Structure 1
Amino acid sequence: MRATAVRRTALAACAVSLTLLATACGGSSDTEADGGKTDKAGATSGSSSAPKSSAPTDSAPKTSAKALSAAELEAVSLKQGDVAGHEITKAGPDDELPEGGVTVDKAACLPVAHAMYGVAQKGSAATTKRSVLSEPKKADTKKPAGELTDGDVEDVLKASFDVTTTFIALNAYEGTAGPDTFVALKKAAADCAGGFTATVAGEPQKVVSVTEEKATGGDESAAWKLTVVGDGDDQFPISLVALRKEGTVATFYSLNVAAVTGRSVKLTGPTEVVAAQAKKLG
């Protein structure tokens, strides 16, 4: 999730917008979302404040899990067709980051930064990563091109930007490493409610607040809304969800393209995507 990834995602959405606009002008068939690779998103500097929540008091389960093999983890990872209305692709080399590839200004926040970027923790035996893009919504118009008003065009563009991109990382851990990783992430999110700055490839990524939200799935799950600052100091929300099934930990990092481009939208967690992944994990 580099800062430039936000701009690449927005440009991809522009291409989708033009396709949707052409479809709306013709008043005909459904339009599919662009199936190209969508990177994770980043943010630049900014400041804000958020009330700190108390750190979780639970500890990692004492059960020991056998890590899934690379082939087993691949088999339970999402594939195209697993989630209706979403384009699913394998993440590319640009999405690979070593454990030392991310630094933070507050050491306690490192587990959150690692979850954002899909970085595997100590004990990981195998990793898979996916990029997921929701299909754009269709504007409610069937007028031919010659009859579209400025308002109609604005509605089409607004609908086509209202897409959510999600980066998923699955890591298979041996022994108690999976539960330990999950507990460490929950504690870090609580400790870092007031924000932190992560640096990737020399680029600072500012998170100004971390707010806990509801989540379900797996043996245990958790979710947070991260508020970050993009170009022009505009703030926008990002969803971070984590779930654990035995020794496998899955993280989901989502943003809405319309929010990144300055439009006012309400971001909700990738519920359908998380549910589908939880089902495949068993």
Structure 2
Amino acid sequence: MRATAVRRIALAASAAALTLLATACGGSSDADGKDGKDEKGAASGSSSAPKAPAKVLTAAELEKAALAQGDVEGAKVTKAGPDDEVPADGVKVDKEACLPVAHAMFGVAEEGVVATAKRKVIDEPKADGKKSLEDAAKGEGADAFKDAFNLTSTFVALHSYDGTAGPDAMAALKKAAADCAGGFTATVAGTPTKVVSMTEEKITGGDEAMAWTVTSEDDGTTAPFKLVALRKEGSVATFFAFNLAAAGGSDVKFEVPAEVVAAQDKKLA
């Protein structure tokens, strides 16, 4: 895959991709951040909406429950900043039924939200003797690119919902993912992201959880993303993950960010 094509996909697709590029090339903020969004369990495929009113976390409680540095081994956790914020009216889709998926991708809350916290979780480079970022910058071949950029960046949006709004948001996302499995286009800040497919993945956690591989396309070049949603009581966390090496067309094994999901699940328990 051409480097320019990889970069276009990364920039167009999500704040997570932008974070990976920025961090890999020069570091990121040390401020801890918290965020999240939940979804319905892909493993069970059935609703587990609580019969009693779900517990609603306040803004302060949600911040405490959000991920912090040290919660995910081998990763750096930072607070999302103003540049990572996408307003609800800033997301446009060519198929209205797909809007809940686009919202989940960009960390946008659904109706009934009480509080929100957002985080960026980025793999730390490993000192294992493999090719470095400097090697990749010198153009030392595909292996250097794969080794240097085999880092996963995950954007986590954690939302607290009132009443049944949390379970309702999960149900809407599950339906939208099924309806839009064949693809759609989402536009944010004038930049379109063309999704060509959504494939269900397995994930467990919370009261319900679900996950997908979201494949985007730009100029004939495809790139995979991972989208996960997790709900515990009235709190919903969404995770949108990107791996630049996997987008480079290499044989990098890019999986659902299970460690990040598990860490967030533990803090919501």
TM-score (norm 2): 0.80
* CA–CA distance in structure 1, aligned partners of residues 191 and 148 of structure 2: 29
Of 141, 164, 189, the residue aligned with 2:177 is 189
Q: Report the more deviating stretch, 122-131 or 259-268.
A: 259-268
Of 268, 271, 279, the residue aligned with 2:258 is 271
Task: In structure 2, give the amino acid aligned to 1:71.
Answer: A
Aligned to 2:81: 92
Give the structure, 1 or 2, with the largest relative contact order (CA under 8 Å, sep 6 or more).
2
Aligned to 2:220: 233
Aligned to 2:234: 247
- Percent identical among aligned pairs is 58
Q: How far is the alpha carbon of 1:233 from its aligned partner?
A: 2.7
Q: Secondary structure at the match of 1:159?
A: helix
Does the alignment pair 1:68 with 2:68? no
Alpha carbons of structure 1 residues 222 and 165: separation in structure 2 relative to 1, 3 Å: same
Q: Deviations over 1:20-77 (max 9, x none)?
A: xxxxxxxxxxxxxx3448xxxxxxxxxxxxxxxxxx6748544322421100000000
Q: 1:63-142 to 2 correspondence within 5 Å? A: 63-140=52-129
Q: Report the more deviating stretch, 58-67 or 118-127.
A: 58-67
Alpha carbons of structure 1 residues 250 and 14: separation in structure 2 relative to 1, 3 Å: closer
* CA–CA distance in structure 2, aligned partners of residues 174 and 15 of structure 1: 40
Conservation of the 8 A alpha-carbon contact between 1:136 and 1:159: no
* CA–CA distance in structure 2, aligned partners of residues 66 and 225 of structure 1: 30
Q: Deviations over 1:156-214 (max 9, x none)?
A: 54322100000000000000000000011011101111000001111111100001110
Does the alignment pair 1:12 with 2:1? no
* CA–CA distance in structure 1, aligned partners of residues 175 and 130 of structure 2: 48
Task: In structure 2, give the amino acid aligned to 1:223.
Answer: A
Task: In structure 2, give the amino acid aligned to 1:98.
Answer: P
Alpha carbons of structure 1 residues 160 and 188: separation in structure 2 relative to 1, 3 Å: same
Q: Secondary structure at the match of 1:253?
A: strand
- Note the residue ranges of structure 1 that are not aligned, 5 or more in a row: 17-33, 38-55, 143-149
Aligned to 1:223: 211
Q: How far is the alpha carbon of 1:114 from its aligned partner?
A: 0.3
Conservation of the 8 A alpha-carbon contact between 1:170 and 1:250: yes
Aligned to 1:31: none
- Could you say which structure has the larger radius of gyration? 1
Conservation of the 8 A alpha-carbon contact between 2:226 and 2:242: yes
Q: Deviations over 1:243-267 (max 9, x none)?
A: 0000000000001011234433221
Conservation of the 8 A alpha-carbon contact between 1:198 and 1:206: yes
Q: Secondary structure at the match of 1:252?
A: strand
Conservation of the 8 A alpha-carbon contact between 1:130 and 1:169: yes
Conservation of the 8 A alpha-carbon contact between 2:154 and 2:241: yes
User: How many equivalent residue pairs?
Assistant: 239
Task: In structure 2, give the amino acid aligned to 1:276.
Answer: A
TM-score (norm 1): 0.76
* CA–CA distance in structure 1, aligned partners of residues 111 and 125 of structure 2: 38
Q: Secondary structure at the match of 1:64?
A: coil
Q: Report the more deviating stretch, 259-268 or 58-67.
A: 58-67
* CA–CA distance in structure 2, aligned partners of residues 187 and 257 of structure 1: 29
Conservation of the 8 A alpha-carbon contact between 1:2 and 1:200: no
Alpha carbons of structure 1 residues 106 and 138: separation in structure 2 relative to 1, 3 Å: same
- Note the residue ranges of structure 2 that are not aligned, 5 or more in a row: 1-9, 31-44, 132-137
Task: In structure 2, give the amino acid aligned to 1:235.
Answer: T
Task: In structure 1, give the amino acid aligned to 2:262.
Answer: A
Task: In structure 1, give the amino acid aligned to 2:149.
Answer: F
Q: Report the more deviating stretch, 174-183 or 255-264.
A: 255-264
